Structure 1
């Protein structure tokens, strides 16, 4: 079974897929070692690890090199977070998607947020992009490549539920394999969306939205924690480095 088929199959079981979000090779290897079945890169975490803010501030080649290092060294499927595609025109975005597929990932996250200004890409334009993306991937031998269409309606619109439902249905019709809705936390809305959308729904961990068993009962098929783990690691590093400077004593580093 190919990595792409394996990754698709993980969305079709009774169990919710808990994706391990990695930001470098060490984090990816650790997540694989402790039992995660698939890895999703986190653009926020990768940006932080290189001293940048999130939002396509890194050169795409540099971003892709980190994803490739992960893909080359783990034996589980990897989904690449490529934000809005790292391009201002369709051709550049499609080229970047194909380059990402070529390094061996099983899927991508592609979002409908604009990067140079606030707001979402026009829905029809985004649907056209997804259609072209699916056609291109099929033509290059990447049939069933997992396109996880992220919509930022809950971050950027005043009536997110209605807009989410409309966009999610349109994105699936345009070739998306799954729909990623960060910011959605209301249980009734989650249940309505998972019932109405004929594709796996991916949610992101937030305060108040943390339990896989509960989400599985609501019909969610995939759950990720984004930059939460990398932020926790950075906070831990900062806390311990501060203690070293303040106490000038390394003994606590050896306490168990």
Structure 2
């Protein structure tokens, strides 16, 4: 990915005029979101993992995440990738993955300090991972996620302490999923000299209010994926029960046209001529 694309992505993070980042789990959802006018797309680790029958946050979806990145970066949008906790505890391996994602066309990554056993990584270890990524791929936008609120393992002080340490290690933005209270959000935004990312919570947030609080980025996380699962199940049950259904969905032809437009001029690996 070019430096210009990364610069464009950084510029989308504006306090008071936040980037609304929808999170996709496959090429079809990302393509639909791009067609809806979203300039940047993130991935959802739950959606990517679950689509392949893998639990989230266990570090098992490295291959699937990298493969999806190669697909999404063919779309006319900026792509940032959720890499869970890095799919490894080794800073060198995490930095290598980040470099591969950047080479595939990703402008950013999201890396979390929460672990699958509902604990937080030590602040030193997480800072080492971030430092290794930035030392290896300085142009990559590293959104450092701290799960102090998500896992209810810390307070405002712990959140800000971790955020400051991650920024010192080279992080470009801070993500605090689970934070909901206006006062807490204002305190974090005021204390951190970097773009602050908040996870959209339907029962608590509006984009307008988060903008007023100075948030620079709003992510949907796994919400769209979970809503899609709900819609699929609800519609199938309605059809089975013989209840009236009303579906406002793209047609088969609409989806095919979008896919054909995206693959125009490309060849599959099997179709490419062999070279010596």
Fold equivalence (TM over 0.5): yes
Shift of 1:155: 2.5
Q: Which has the higher helix share?
A: 1
Whether 2:226 is the aligned partner of 1:226: answer no
- In 2, are the aligned partners of 1:43 and 1:54 still within 8 Å (CA)? yes
Aligned counterparts of 1:253 and 1:212: Cα–Cα separation in 2: 28
- SS at 2:120's partner residue? coil
Residue aligning to 2:128: 128
- Among residues 162, 173, 178, which one is paired with 2:168 in the alignment? 173
For residues 14-68 of structure 1, give each alpha carbon's deviation from its aligned partner in whole angstroms, at most 9, with x where no partner exists: 5211011111111101111111121011011112222332124644112211122
- Among residues 234, 241, 246, which one is paired with 2:241 in the alignment? 246
Tell me the TM-score normalized by structure 1: 0.89
Aligned counterparts of 1:159 and 1:62: Cα–Cα separation in 2: 31
Shift of 1:253: 6.3
In the alignment, structure 1 segments of 5+ residues that lack a partner are none
Residue aligning to 1:154: 149
Residue aligning to 1:118: 118
When residues 10 and 86 of structure 1 are mapped into structure 2, their CA distance, relative to the original with a 3 A threshold, is: same
Aligned counterparts of 2:203 and 2:186: Cα–Cα separation in 1: 16
Residue aligning to 2:71: 69
Aligned counterparts of 1:175 and 1:63: Cα–Cα separation in 2: 23
Residue aligning to 1:91: 92
Aligned counterparts of 1:151 and 1:49: Cα–Cα separation in 2: 25
Shift of 1:244: 2.5
Aligned counterparts of 1:159 and 1:14: Cα–Cα separation in 2: 26
Aligned counterparts of 2:55 and 2:79: Cα–Cα separation in 1: 23
When residues 254 and 92 of structure 1 are mapped into structure 2, their CA distance, relative to the original with a 3 A threshold, is: closer
When residues 98 and 254 of structure 1 are mapped into structure 2, their CA distance, relative to the original with a 3 A threshold, is: closer
For residues 198-240 of structure 1, give each alpha carbon's deviation from its aligned partner in whole angstroms, at most 9, with x where no partner exists: 0000000124333111111111000011111111111111111
Aligned-pair RMSD on alpha carbons?
2.0
Aligned counterparts of 2:16 and 2:160: Cα–Cα separation in 1: 24
Residue aligning to 1:42: 44
Shift of 1:94: 1.6
Residue aligning to 2:211: 216
For residues 154-173 of structure 1, give each alpha carbon's deviation from its aligned partner in whole angstroms, at most 9, with x where no partner exists: 13344421100111111111
Aligned counterparts of 1:180 and 1:10: Cα–Cα separation in 2: 15
The runs of at least 4 aligned residues of structure 1 exceeding 6 Å deviation read 253-256
Aligned counterparts of 2:15 and 2:162: Cα–Cα separation in 1: 25
When residues 217 and 245 of structure 1 are mapped into structure 2, their CA distance, relative to the original with a 3 A threshold, is: same
Aligned counterparts of 2:246 and 2:211: Cα–Cα separation in 1: 39
> What is the correspondence of 1:23-42 to structure 2 with a 5 Å cutoff?
23-42=25-44
Aligned counterparts of 1:239 and 1:213: Cα–Cα separation in 2: 30
- In 2, are the aligned partners of 1:185 and 1:208 still within 8 Å (CA)? no
Tell me the TM-score normalized by structure 2: 0.83
Aligned counterparts of 1:252 and 1:112: Cα–Cα separation in 2: 43
